[in-house]
Amino acid sequence: MIEIKVLTPDDWPTWRELRLAALTEAPGAFGSRLADWQGDGDREQRWRDRLSIPGSHDLVAVLDGRPVGMASGVPTADPLVMDLISMWVHPDARGTGVGDRLVNEVAHWAREHGADRLRLTVMPQNARAKALYHRAGFALTDELGDLLPDGGSREQVMLRPL
């Protein structure tokens, strides 16, 4: 059974564990790098601050008593649009419905908070994530995502009506 837990800043050790695992396992899937969150970047207050983004909704998926996935919903400058960020599912839990549950929980939260669209960015080469997002009702947009370190490609922006 998949359990979804809403995190508070006091849950920073759980978020830290999953985020570091995500950046280690899938370094090309995120704008952040593992090195950014290690050494001097690995401070309790920084992790607490990440879970204190005003208006955010930070989730962890637990499967068989073990945290195996994470996602956040965050407000944008447009009150009708919320962003899905920091989405990751442990490889052992992929294909179990964890990703679907996390996306749908964030979508439900966004709708409850007045949004009519949920947006995300995904790396162009992340076919598995794009398949999950398409299945969850997202479609690619013409919006330009952030420029990637290679200087030539960009993140892809996807949008889901709510």
pLDDT at 147 over 90: no
CATH classification of the domain holding 93: 3.40.630.30
147 vs 52, which has greater pLDDT? 52
Specify the range with the lowest mean pLDDT, choosing from 19-33, 58-72, 129-143: 19-33
pTM for the full predicted model:
0.94
Confidence (pLDDT) at 151: 78
Helices (H), 3-161: 12-25, 44-50, 98-112, 127-135
Can you list the pairs that 133-141 forms with residues at least 24 positions away whose Cβ atoms lie under 8 Å? 133/103, 133/158, 133/160, 135/100, 136/100, 136/103, 136/104, 136/107, 136/160, 137/161
Number of domains comprising the chain? 1
* pLDDT level of residue 140 (50, 70, 90 thresholds): very high
* Cα–Cα distance, 32 to 118 (Å, whole number): 21
* pLDDT level of residue 160 (50, 70, 90 thresholds): very high
pLDDT at 47 over 90: yes
Show the domain range for 95: 2-161
